């Protein structure tokens, strides 16, 4: 059965109240309006990541009809649309998932 690790990139759980000001400060270098933000809500959490740090795409294998697009870790927002396109093409058009990304590799 497919299992994803429950291990973050950091050794300790991040404190969003401490990390958020740094993120805003660094982000303001590229988007100056972030430097004016005073009130916000912050959340820090794990992102599902596969053991080999590559997305898990395509048929689950053990559950018929279940297709995955997960395991991207911190790159889910960047890679998610492309992964969704690959999985949708595999389901709707019989497209192939590259073996390096296939959920069946696990």
pTM: 0.61
- 26 near 70, Cβ under 8 Å? no
The stretch 40-65 carries a mean pLDDT of 83
**Which of 43-52, 59-68, 76-85, 96-105 is predicted least confidently?**
43-52
Which residues, at least 6 apart from 96, have a Cβ–Cβ distance to it below 8 Å? Answer: 90
**Which two structure tokens, joined as six digits, stand for 54?**
């590559």
Output 48 or 31, whichever has higher pLDDT. Answer: 31
Q: How far is CA 31 from CA 25, 34, 40, 46, in A?
A: 10, 6, 16, 26
Radius of gyration of the chain (CA): 18
Residue 60 pLDDT greater than 60, yes or no:
yes
Q: For residue 7, what pLDDT is reported?
A: 54
Q: Which residue has the tokens 């004016």?
A: 36
Q: For residue 1, what pLDDT is reported?
A: 44
Q: 41, 39, 40, 42: which is closest to 15 by C-alpha?
A: 42
The stretch 56-64 carries a mean pLDDT of 89
Residue 27 pLDDT greater than 60, yes or no:
yes
Instruction: Measure the CA–CA gap between 51 and 61, rounded to whole angstroms.
Output: 17
Output 43 or 37, whichever has higher pLDDT. Answer: 37
């Amino acid at each position: 059965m497919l299992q994803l690790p429950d291990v973050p990139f950091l050794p300790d759980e991040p404190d969003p109240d401490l990390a958020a000001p740094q993120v805003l400060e660094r982000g303001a270098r590229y988007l100056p309006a972030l430097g004016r933000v005073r009130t916000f809500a912050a959340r820090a959490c794990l992102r599902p990541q596969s053991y080999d740090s590559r997305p898990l795409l395509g048929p689950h294998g053990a559950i018929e009809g279940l297709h995955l697009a997960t395991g991207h870790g911190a790159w889910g927002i960047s890679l998610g649309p492309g992964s969704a396109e690959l999985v949708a093409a595999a389901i709707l058009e019989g497209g192939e998932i590259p073996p390096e990304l296939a959920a069946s590799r696990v």
